[in-house]
Structure 1
Amino acid sequence: MNLNYLDPKIDLVFQRVFARADLRKDFLNAVLPLDAPIESLAYLPAEQAPQVPGMRFSIVDVKY
């Protein structure tokens, strides 16, 4: 049996599937054990500048 499907673990596929904000919110609310549901999402730049001079930049995927 040959199954052809898109793997959601691939970044490009995940971004295409969850391009809509309502799908992202529903997915996160279903997966995460939170006390209150997520009402809004905001994108931040991936590179975070350090607050202390001389420290390294960091790259984060998720920040809460």
Structure 2
Amino acid sequence: MAYAWKVTVKSPWKKYVKGLSVQVVTTSCGKPTSKEIFDAFKNQLGIEKESGANPSFDIEKIK
């Protein structure tokens, strides 16, 4: 079964501005991994992950 999540940037970091969001689909019922989140930003918005700290995200399950 697939689960859909809305991932929104909570605190800005480099190209990741506050409020920017993507949808992530996972096959597990747990929240998406960092890799899945950054892959979604790359595929949907063209934003590559840069080295260094990570932005914080708000992750909510889409019903």
Q: TM-score w.r.t. structure 1 length?
A: 0.33
Asked which structure has the greater RCO (Cα within 8 Å, sep 6+), the reply is 2
Structure (1/2) with the larger helix percentage: 1
Q: TM-score w.r.t. structure 2 length?
A: 0.33
Larger radius of gyration: 1
